[in-house]
Amino acid sequence: MRPGADRPSCGPGQVPWPLVIELQHVTKLYPASPRPALDDVSTEIDKGEFVFLIGSSGSGKSTFLRLLLKEDDPTRGTVTVNGKTLNGMSKWQVPKLRRTMGCVFQDFRLLRNRTVAENVAFALEVINKPHRTIKRVVPEVLEMVGLDGKANRLPHELSGGEQQRVAIARAFVNRPLVLLADEPTGNLDPETSEGIMLLLERINRTGTTVIMATHDYHIVDSMRRRVIELNGGQITRDQSRGVYGVGR
Amino acid sequence: MRVNFVLSEVATGLRRNLTMTVAMILTTAISLGLMGTGLLIAGMISDMKEIYYDKVQVSIFLADDVTGDQRSAIESQLADSPEVASYLYESKEEAYERFRQQFSQQPELVDNTPRDALPESFRVELVNPERYEVIAAAFPNGENGVDQVRDEGDFLDRLFSLLNGARNATIAVAVVQALAALLLISNTIQLAAFNRRNETNIMRLVGASRWYTQLPFILEAALAGLIGAMLAVGGLVLTKVLFVDKTLAGPIKAGIIPPVDWSAIVTIAPVIAGAGVGLAAVAAYVTLRLYVRL
C-alpha cells in the first residue's frame, strides 16, 4: 500500500527525487517466534523525506530499522538502500553502507569517559578521516546542534536533551544520506523533545532522509509528516502529512 | 589506519582487566618457557648423540687374570678384523683416571673406589655399528682373557630413550599449558570485548571496518604473547646461568653433558616469540569470529 497520490509531488520541471530506500515484499522471521516480525512489507522512501514509523511495541519498527542497517537479513524479499541491494552484500561492504547512515537511539549511547567533542570525533576517527577534517567539522556540527561551548564536557555533566544532541551530532557529522532515529525522544520531557525535533527537522532540510520510530503522538501530530504505521509486522497505514492515531 | 588510536585502545584494554592480562601473560610465559626447555633438551640430545655414538660402540672388558699373550692376541684380532674401524686400549690406570674425572663432583665415590677396581678394556669403533653381534661372537665372554663384551650402543639407546622421554614430557606439559594459555587468552579477549562493547557497537554503526574494530583486540593478545615470550626467554637465560652453568658444571667439564650454548638460546628465542605472538593473535581472532559480534 503505497499511497503515491498523496505524497509530496514534484513541481513541474523538477526531476523526481531518487529513491533512497526500497523494501519489496520483505518478511522477517526470528527463530524464537512463530509470528513474523515483518510480514510482506513493501514501501519506498525518497531522498530527503521525513518519515515517522509508528506502531505499538513489537509491531516491527525496530526490525524495520535493523534491516536498513543490515544488522539483520530479511527472511524473504529485498531491501535496497542508496541503490544497493543489501541481501547479497558481503560482510566487508557493510561498513561502507553504514557510513552513509547515521543512528540515534533512545538511550543516547555516548561514551562516558570521552568528552562531547571526543564522542563526535570518535565516529570520524574510526573510519579513518584525516585529523585536519576532524578538527574542522567537529566544532561545526557541535555549533549546529547548539552545543558550542560544551565541547569539553563529559556526557554525565549534560542534561538528557543535551546528551541526545551529542548523539545527533555524532550521527550527522559524517553527513549521512539517511538518519535513523529509534525513539530519540523516548527519555526526554516534551519541551526538550520539541528542541530535538527542531534539530531533526533542520537536518532533514539539508537533504538527509530522516526515519524516526516513535510512540510520541504529540510530536507526530504536530509535525504532520509522512507516517508509516506498522501493526503485527504489516504496514496498516502509509500517509503523507499523517497523524499518530486515526480519530485521536 | 590511525596508529595512535589503535595503540591507545590496546593500552586501555590491557590496563582495564589487569588481573586477566597478568594471568594471560604468566600462563603464556610458562608454556613458552617449557616449550623452549623442550627444544633445548632436544638440541642437547642431538649434541650428546654426536659425542657418544661417534666415540665408542663396543667395549671389550678384559678379565683380571688376563695374560700378556691373550691381550696381544685380542689386539691383533681387532687390528685384522674388517668389521673394526678403529680401537683404543684403556689400561686400569686410564680407566680409573677417566672415572675420577667423570665423578669429580662426588669425591666420596672416588675415594671409596680402589685404583684397580676398574677393568682394562678395548674400546672398539665398528665400521657398521649395527654389527655388534659379530664382535660379540668373535670374543666369547669368559674365554681367552675376555671378561665381557658390551654393546655401549645398547646402553646409549637406553640413556637416550630416557632423555627423549624427558623431552617429550616437557613438551607435553608445554602443550597442556599452551591449551590453558589459549583458553585464558580467549576469555580475556571476550572480557575485553564486553568491556568495550559501547565503543565497538558505535564503531559498527558508524561503519568502522572490521579490521579497525578487531585489530586492538588482536594486538592486545599479541602483545601479551610477546611479553610472555620475553619472560620465557628470561626464564631460559636464568636456568642456564643459575642451574646449567653452576650445578651441571662438573659433568659438562668432563664432557658427559654438552653445555647449553648462548647461541642455542638465541636461536630458540625468536621461535618462542613467534609462537607466542602468533598463537595469541590467532586465538584472539578466532574468539572474535566465534563469540563476539563486532
Question: Residue A205: its pLDDT value, please?
Answer: 95
Indicate yes or no: CB of B210 within 8 angstroms of CB of A103.
Answer: no
B209·A95 Cβ contact <8 A: yes
Looking at the fold, whether B195 and B74 belong to one and the same domain comes out as no
Q: Which residue in chain A has the smallest CA separation from B1? A: A128
CA distance B280 to chain A (A): 24
B47 and B62 belong to one structural domain: no
The residue from B131, B151, B171 where one domain ends is B151
Residue B110's CATH number? 3.30.70.3040
DSSP category for residue B242 = I
> B208 and A103 in contact by Cβ < 8 A?
no
Q: What is the pLDDT of residues A170-202, one digit of tens each?
A: 999 999 999 999 999 999 999 999 999 999 999
Grid cell in block for residue A146: 547548539
Distance in angstroms (rounded) separating the CA atoms of residues B253 and B270: 29
Q: In what order do the strands lie in the sheet with B84-90?
A: B84-90, B121-126, B58-62, B146-151
Task: Measure CB to CB from residue B198 to each of A92, A101, A111 and give the nearest one.
Answer: A111
Span A45-61, average pLDDT: 92
Q: Do A126 and B198 touch (CB under 8 A)?
A: no
* Residues B164 and B276 both lie in one domain: yes
Would the CB atoms of B210 and A92 count as touching at under 8 Å?
Answer: yes
Do B176 and B267 reside in the same domain of the chain? yes
Please state the ipTM of this predicted complex. 0.84
Choose from B201, B205, B213 for mutation: most chain A CBs within 10 A: B205
Domain A16-100+176-240 has what CATH class? alpha beta
pLDDT band at A168 (very low <50, low <70, confident <90, very high): very high
Closest CA of chain A from B23, distance in Å:
27
- Give me the total of CB pairs closer than 8 Å, taking one residue from chain A and one from chain B: 52
Tens digit of each residue's pLDDT (9 = 90 or more) over B226-250: 999 999 999 999 999 998 888 888 7
Residues of A whose CB is below 8 A from B204 = 98
Query: B4 to chain A: which residues are within 8 Å by CB?
Result: none
d(CA A132, CA A12): 42
Q: How many domains does chain B have?
A: 2
At residue A7, the pLDDT reads 44
Tell me which chain B residues have a C-beta less than 8 angstroms from the C-beta of A103: 205
Q: Quote the domain boundaries for residue B98.
A: 55-151
Q: For the residues of A126-166, what is the DSSP string, one character each?
A: TTT--HHHHHHHHHHHHHHTT-TT-TT--GGGS-HHHHHHH
Enumerate the domain spans of chain A: 16-100+176-240, 110-174
DSSP A231: E
Enumerate residues 6+ apart whose C-beta is below 8 A from B112.
none
Question: B212 and B184 in one domain?
Answer: yes
Please indicate, yes or no, whether residues B45 and B165 belong to a single structural domain of this protein: yes
Within this chain, do residues B46 and B60 fall inside the same structural domain, yes or no?
no
pLDDT digits (tens, 9 = 90+) for B124-135: 888 877 777 888
Per-residue pLDDT of chain B (294 residues; tens, 9 = 90+): 577 778 888 888 788 788 888 988 999 999 999 989 988 888 888 888 777 766 657 888 998 888 888 888 888 888 888 888 888 888 888 888 888 887 777 788 888 888 888 889 888 888 877 777 888 888 888 888 888 888 877 777 787 888 888 888 988 988 988 898 899 889 888 888 888 888 899 999 999 998 888 898 999 999 999 999 999 999 999 999 998 888 888 778 777 778 888 998 999 999 999 999 999 999 999 999 888 776
Burial A73-93 (b: 16+ CB within 10 A, else e): ebeebebbbbeeebeebeeee
With CA atoms as reference, the chain A residue closest to B2 would be: A128
From B136, B151, B166, give the residue that closes a domain: B151
Put simply, the answer to whether B198 touches A69 (Cβ < 8 Å) is: no
